[in-house]
Amino acid sequence: MTSIQYYDSPLGRIRMEADEVGLTGLWSEGSKYDRIPNEYLEQETEILLEGKRWLDQYFCGQKPDFLPPLHPKGSAFQMTVWDILLKIPYGETISYGEIAHKIAEKRGISRMSAQAVGGAVGHNPIAIIIPCHRVVGADGSLTGYAGGLDKKIKLLELEHTASVL
């Protein structure tokens, strides 16, 4: 059963979702791929409390000192991309092309599609914690964000990311 809880952030209301293993979703209300599960129970769980504690630290302008249990669901390719996103340091950015290059190297192939990477980044189910907002265009431009470009800018500003200051 999916458990949900809401979090009031400086960027608006966020819905957290979790199963017995970890967080399965973190969505800004009205984001592009926001979807409420068919069956859920609105309740406080240990995993959701950990998600809230992480968000509290983050929105206070601190780099969180832990990672709550995560349980994103996606294809093997999406999981590979999301794992790379988790390794982007707080306050830094990476391009879609750089992620594609990392995957190509890991797979021993000559190249990987940055557009395919963009699709996986855009379908990240645990926004903010899996930091898809830290992915930028090849020229450093701030490209799309499922939660809205205005939220992406605010998240990067919160992290004091040099590319937006």
Nearest Cα neighbor of 143 from 104, 96, 103 is 96
Separation CA 113–CA 131 (nearest Å): 20
Instruction: Give dist(CA 1, CA 18) in Å, integer.
Output: 9
60 a catalytic residue: no
Q: What is the largest CA-CA distance in the chain?
A: 47
Q: In what order do the strands lie in the sheet with 2-9?
A: 23-28, 12-18, 2-9, 40-42
Give 76's contacts (C-beta < 8 A, 6+ positions apart): none
User: Which residue in 16, 47, 100, 132 is the catalytic one?
Assistant: 132
- Alpha-carbon gap, residue 119 to 5, rounded angstroms: 27
Q: Which residues are catalytic?
A: 132
